[in-house]
Every structure is written in C-alpha cells, then in structure tokens.
A and B are shown apart, each in its own frame.
Chain A
C-alpha cells in the first residue's frame, strides 16, 4: 500500500459530520424500530407465519421463539438510542448491527434495499469513533473528546451513499424506465385521487417526467452534493425528492434514512457550527480520535479496499445469467434496484406421487398474503417452497413426490405470462450461487 494513500486516508478531518450522522441515523433507526414494533410487524411478519423464506446460505437463521424476538427488538431500539446519544457507543453499534441484520435475514419476503443499506451503514458505525464529541460517553468521562477523525471515517459514508445513488441511477437506464415510463406509469395511474398532484398523474407525460427526473437525480445527486456551489440546492432536491416519494408510495423509513445520510456530504465546518454550541472551545484542543500508526493503518485500508471492490462488483452479478434479470430475478437483489418493477403473480404447485401415479394441487395454507405475493414471482422462493412441499408430503406418507410449479406473473404493465416450466420437477432442482435456473421461462 503506497504511503501516500495511507496518509491520505488517515489525514485528520473534522469530527462534526460524523457526529451529525451518528445522531441523525441513530434517531431514524430508533424511530424505525419502534414503528416496526408498534405496527405489530414482529408478530405479523416473523412469529405468525409457519414458514419463512431464507437467503441462500442463511437457511439456519430462524426467528427466536416466544419472547425472544421481542428481546431482540428491544435491544435493537436500546442500541439505536445508544447510538443517537452516544452512550456505550461501540457496544450499541455492534448490538444494533447484529440485531438488525439478524432480523433482516429471517425472511426474504421483506427484503428491501434500504434495509440492506441500514445493515451496511450500521456496520461502518461500529468502526468509526462517532462518539468522541457531543456524546454521553464523553460527558461521563468514559472517552476523551476529540476534534478530528481520520478522513476515511467520514469518507466511507460519502462513498457508500454515492454508490447507492449512482447504482440506483444506472439501474434506471432500461427501456422500460426510460421509454415506457414503467412502472411509474402503472403506479401513478392509480394515484389520480392524490391531493394537488393527482390530476397531473392522468397524463403520460407526468410519468415520463418523473422517470427521467428520477434517473438524472440518482445519477448526479452525489456529485452535486460533493460540489460546494451546488450542494445547498442538491440537498434541497434530496429533501423534496424523498418526501415526494414518501407521500406517494408506501416506502416506510427509506426517505428519512437518505435525508439523514446525505447530511454527511456537508463540510466539517458546516456541521461544527451546530456542535460548537454544545461544547464550545473544544476546537482549540485538536485531538484526533481513532488515530493509528504502523500496520493498523494498512489493515483498515485493506478492509476498505475489499469492501469497495465488493460493493462495486456485487450488483453486477446478474451478467452471468442469460435473459432479462428483471424478469427472472437472478442476481437482482443487493443491487440498489429500487422501484424498478411492478409485478404481481400467481403460483400453484402440482404434486405427483410417482409411486401411485396420483396427482393433485397443493393449496397454500402456511403462508401469509405478503409471503404469497412475493412467492408468486420470485423463482428462488418458488424453488424453496417446492422443496418445503416435498418434505411436507414426505412426512405425510408420500416420500419422493414430484413438485411442479405453475407460476404466471405480470411485469411492468405487461399481461401475465408463464414464469416457470410446469413440467420440470422442482423437488429435484437445486439452488446455488450462480447456478442458473433453466426451469424459469424467458419473458
């Protein structure tokens, strides 16, 4: 690692942006956790369903029984609060990251890009000394106050947020988004009742304008936030854009996560003006938190480098799968592809007992409506469920049944079309990293 790179990464910058980020993100995480609880989603999404769709390689992650999951959420809320006020900060960050990521791994049904983002952001909160100013840890004398942090501590958040936007923008450069204004056209057509803006949604031009503005916004907002002269306007655009999407679509906490996270693009001096009110006179002390010399620097640099390579490459893994990956969804998740598709589907499973030749259809009774909705158009979930059914019938005296899926789905305003080959026994098909699923029919 060239010394110049290390020196650049470790050069001291003001701590204030990190403090703002800690407080803002922590508060959003705290509210999001309480909101999740208050909506009854702990029971509804994780405890009530008898079956859960797991992520490939994480099949062992299951909801804790009884009160266990409530303890997890209580810890998560407490940890988010700890992050916000800077109390037992490192432990809080670790607990939040662990509990949040654990709950997100419980069921693919509820996968959202912004949950993934929260996992990534909270991971980095663990490693940065965001509690070294304006925190209870400092107030209580557990850690010393600091004025500066190494550059990478602020930089990693800027890079992460920039990746999210730029990749979300690149993902919008599709024929459907740009030249059919889909799926926004479908969605806006059902929103003509909305106060004030509703009448606009009757025109196709509105859907095109929203689509193109959205793509340009995503591609260039990070640049505009970085540049001093455009920054205030860019931040105003962030607020307007995300509040608008929050108003029109049921997207939960995502707007507030982004409105909080993009604050990190403002310079240290801007943030310092806020925090100087809480502990004036600190700027004369000039203390760097998280300062390291020697091999420690190189290890952190290596971690950062590997992380960035992963973040930059992982969203492109769809290229190894033939066909339209928006349709077959292989390599689709974890790529900042947001609001890109409108799909609804229906799937039913034919069960054939090869021993007797008897056949019938399974009626799904152990899934919630939300799970069934996602199952209908996501092939990896269809495969998981087919295996579940093979086991289910096996336990009931029909070992080795064949399971065939008959799935049909709509896709961005197109009529429904068969998604799976109904003649391939899915009980005999395996999932795997980068293993193509030839039983998915092309669009």
Chain B
C-alpha cells in the first residue's frame, strides 16, 4: 500500500511536469476585480445616473401651466434628451436588482414599457384619479406615455390639448415620477452604495460582478428584443408590427436604439473617449487571455461584434417605424448582428468570469 502510494505520487509528479505546457507562462492570467468594479461604478453607472437625474429634473421643471406650441417643442426636445439618457441607465434597471436604482423603482418596467396603453392614459386623465404605482399603470406611464402625450399631434394641437388641466396634471405626474425616482437612485449611489458596490468582490451570486453582468446582459437581450425584434415579428412568426417600436408617435426609435447599443458597447469597453486608463470587461478578457470562437481573443471579438451590430442598426433607414415594413431585410439583418453577441456574452464571457446566475448549490467533490 505504502509503496503503491509512493509510486503513484512519483508518477503523478512526473506526469504533471510532462503535462504542463512549458511554452505557456506560469500565470493563469488574472484580472483586477476592484479596478473593474471601480470603473463600472465611477465611469459607467454613477455618471449615467447623474446625467439622467439632471435631464429628468430639467424636463420636469419645464412642465409649467398653459404651455404654448413653442413650450411643447421645448418639452419634446427635453423628452428626447431624457429618454436618450435613460438608455445608459436601463442596464442597471432590470429585475436582477442592482443597488439603489432597483430599490428606488427606477426600472424598465416603471419608466419604459412600450407599446403604451393610450386608452388607459385617456381613462386616467378623464377620471383625474389614478395611482401610478398600480400594476395596471405600468403601460400608461413612463417615456412611452410621454411620447403619446407630447407627440400625438402637431405642437400647436398638443398645446391646445394641454390646456385641459387634468391632462397637464397627468403629464406633470409622469415627469415628476421619473425625476423623483432618478434622484433617489442617484442619491443612493453617491450616498454610500458606490463604496459598497466596489467592496463586494468575488463571483458568487449577489456579488457586484454577478449583479452587473446579469443585469447588463438581460437588458441587452431586452433591447434587442423590444427595440428591433418585436416590430419585425421575430417572436411572432414573422408578423410585422411597426406599432411596437419604442417611439411610436415621435418616430425617433432608431436614435434611441443607437443610444442604447452604444451604451452597451461602452459598458463592455469600460471606457470613455479620452480616459484610456479605465478598466472594463474588454481589458479583463484580454488580461485573462481568453480565446474567442473565431480564433482571436474573446475581448476583441466581442468588441468587433458590438461595432458590427451598431453599424447594422445605423444602416436602418430612419424612421424605424417605416423601415419595419419598407426595409424589413435591413432591420432583420440588424437584428441578426445584435443576436450574434448573445452567445458571446451569455456563454463565453459568463463562463470565463465564472459568475453564478442565481444563488443555488453546484456540484461539489
């Protein structure tokens, strides 16, 4: 028994030495998780909330009594500005629940459900008493509802509609709702959660890495599905439905889609133009040296696919609402490019970083 043990150990050591590829370096490759979380908080999340809070407050403050056609034009511009800004916040507003944005209710389900329910909006305005927190109010509020209120007719006609105080009150309630939640989320991040986020290292369920990755990837899948896939009926056996676009009345869905996918690319790249020292997922993958499915480095392949997807969305003729019917193959091609990122994110990236999707036991030994 003892000799057998000895022999096996010798064999083991010999095989081990033979088995190690001597051309490889000794490092497994590793990355700086604190730097990644710091970049995520300080470059991606907190500035996104700060920008969004400023724009939603400005928007909310601009809703005043007796708006003129010029005021309506101004409000429309502020809606575009706030809604575009939302696209960088949305990845942290999923049901995965990342920090104060989630607890403040600043989620996609609260501020960006489309298509909006115009009948419910009109009913709420007519009754004058409504509860924006009720479950049936979710598709009668948020940005798509504001799109309906501000963009359903010419600015002059909208100004006339808003002479009705109960309509104006509803508009104000909607802008106030978003601004309040935005402010609460931003205060939560700056008031302590940022440090908590950076300190919560590791890759188990509930760690900052697992939360940010799961939330971001979920939002990316949603963006691909709702902004591009649903109007061309990917989920509905190909039945086209332009009415499902994000900005049904204002017709600038492509602008928001591009803002969203550029925000997603930035989350992966972790970088602001002009601040080259930020440390994002792209660099993490390069540091780990992970190979990608196309023979290159995974980090570079994902970045290249983001660029290809954004270019494909850019090639959709504006407005998306019309392109759905008139240029279906172009929209379909953009969807396909967006889709190609998902296995890279959900299989390769997730596997490399070893994050858990939910808190449960795995197989031990």
Contact = CB atoms under 8 A, between A and B. Distances in A.
Interface string B17-43: 001100010111110010000000000
Given A193-B202, A218-B365, A361-B234, A344 B351 contact: yes
Contact of B225 (A223, A249, A363): A363
Interface stretch (A68-76, A77-85, A124-132, A351-359): A351-359
B365 A193 contact: no
B352 interface: yes
B242 interface: no
A246 interface: yes
A178 B214 CA distance: 32
Interface string B150-180: 0000000000000000000000000000000
B354 interface: yes
Contact of B28 (A185, A216, A416): A185
A123 interface: no
B5 A370 contact: no
Interface stretch (B105-113, B291-299, B309-317): B291-299
B362 A39 contact: no
Contacts of A178: 15, 19
- With most chain A CB atoms within 10 A of its CB, the pick from B234, B238, B365 is B365
A41 B344 contact: no
Interface string B350-365: 1111101111111111
A227 B1 CA distance: 9
Nearest to A45: B360
A360 B237 contact: yes
A192 B19 CA distance: 24
A191 B204 CA distance: 10
Contact of B357 (A191, A346, A369): A369
A189 B30 contact: yes
Contacts of B343: 345-346, 408, 416
Nearest to B221: A363
B342 interface: yes
A338 B365 contact: yes
Interface residues on B, range: 35 or more
B143 to A, nearest CB: 22
B33 A203 contact: no
Interface string A223-258: 100010010000000000010011001111111000
B117 interface: no
B233 interface: yes
Contact of A186 (B19, B344, B346, B354): B354
Interface string A328-363: 000000000011001111101001010010111111
Contacts of A360: 233-238
A39 B361 CA distance: 11
Interface stretch (A55-63, A89-97, A108-116): A108-116
Nearest to B207: A193
Contacts of B356: 250
A160 interface: no
A202 B289 CA distance: 13
A368 B354 CA distance: 19
A415 B293 contact: yes
Interface string A182-215: 0001111111111000000111111111001010
A146 interface: no
Nearest to B236: A360
Nearest to B342: A346
A220 B30 CA distance: 33
Given A179-B19, A415-B348, A189 B357 contact: no
A409 B344 CA distance: 10
B288 interface: yes
A373 interface: yes
Interface residues of A, number: 80
A414 B362 CA distance: 21
Interface string A351-386: 101001011111100001110110010000000000
A345 B347 CA distance: 4
B123 interface: no
B229 to A, nearest CB: 8
Nearest to B288: A189
B20 A415 contact: no
Contact of A346 (B24, B203, B290, B347): B347
A188 B294 CA distance: 25
Nearest to B289: A189
Q: Name, among A218, A342, A408, the residue most crowded by chain B CB atoms within 10 Å (CB to CB).
A: A408
B1 A193 contact: no
Contacts of B353: 190
A203 B361 contact: no
B234 A168 contact: no
A358 B239 contact: yes
Contact of B237 (A187, A202, A353): A353
A348 B336 CA distance: 13
A439 interface: no
Interface string A418-431: 00000000000000
20 contacts: A112-B361, A113-B363, A114-B363, A190-B353, A201-B28, A201-B30, A205-B26, A207-B28, A342-B354, A345-B343, A346-B346, A358-B237, A360-B236, A376-B346, A398-B237, A410-B348, A410-B352, A415-B294, A416-B351, A417-B293
Interface of B: 1, 5, 8-9, 12, 15-16, 19-20, 24, 26-30, 33, 201-205, 214, 225, 229, 233-239, 288, 290-294, 298, 339, 342-344, 346-348, 350-354, 356-365
> Closest 7 interchain pairs by CB?
A251-B364, A252-B361, A254-B364, A344-B351, A338-B365, A415-B293, A416-B347
Given A186-B352, A342-B354, A415-B291, 7 more contacts: A250-B362, A338-B363, A339-B365, A343-B351, A348-B342, A358-B239, A361-B235
